Amino acid sequence: MIEDILEYNKRFVENKGYEKYITNKYPDKKIAILSCMDTRLTELLPAALGIKNGDVKMIKNAGGIISHPFGSVIRSLMVAIYELGVKEVMVIAHSDCGACHMSSAQMIEHMKARGIKQETIDMIRFCGVDFDSWLYGFGDTEKSVRETVKAILDHPLIPEDVHVSGFIIDSITGALTPVVA
């Protein structure tokens, strides 16, 4: 499959398919969007919001959550805010998310089935990784959005003048529903 992608990329560049996407690193709308990595959102989210290449900074991960107060999501938001001029943050979760009700115990079983040894898991636990909190998803999408918005608003390194709001997008229709903090 990767070979097919590389072949497509070669033709894309040769045919100058990139020209319509040329922009700079600064988001025109001064917005960063934290959302889930779900495949259904790849084209649906930008289309439903009317955004195009260059409009916003997109940060995606499993569940669109902040799993650590000094992890990659907060780091990305800080770069977007302090280096790239972002003034607003949208947290956008979605319906029927795979991270909803995700279980760390089940994930560990999947790891072991794929060849990860129990000793490796135990060693990582011994080093301080709490698999239960790190691999847990969430049980309630609205609550998860509220908690993520609060984590951004309460973060000591995020300036108070950044507006943060939360939403849930319907994975099928693209309808956006605000989540009240």
At residue 62, the pLDDT reads 94
**Mean pLDDT per segment of 10 residues, for the chain of length 181 residues?**
97 97 97 97 98 97 93 97 98 94 91 97 93 86 96 98 98 97 78
What is the pTM (predicted TM-score) of this model? 0.92
Q: How far apart are CA 97 and CA 158, in angstroms?
A: 27
132 is in an annotated binding site: no
Strand partners, 59: 34
Instruction: Please name which of 97, 77, 99 lies closest in space to residue 149, comparing C-alpha atoms.
Output: 77
Q: At CA 130, angle to CA 104 and CA 141, rounded to 5?
A: 50
Residue 142: predicted pLDDT = 96
Domain boundaries, the chain: 2-97+139-179, 103-136
Q: Is residue 127 part of an annotated ligand binding site?
A: no
Sequence-distant (≥ 6) Cβ neighbours of residue 44 within 8 angstroms: 169, 171, 174
In DSSP notation, 39-92 reads TTHHHHHHHHHT--TTSEEEEEETTS--SSTTSHHHHHHHIIIIIT---EEEEE
- In sequence order, the 6+-apart residues with CB closer than 8 A to the CB of 4 are none
Whether 38 has a binding-site annotation, put simply, is yes
Name the CATH superfamily for 2-97+139-179. Answer: Carbonic anhydrase (3.40.1050.10)
State residue 17's pLDDT score.
97
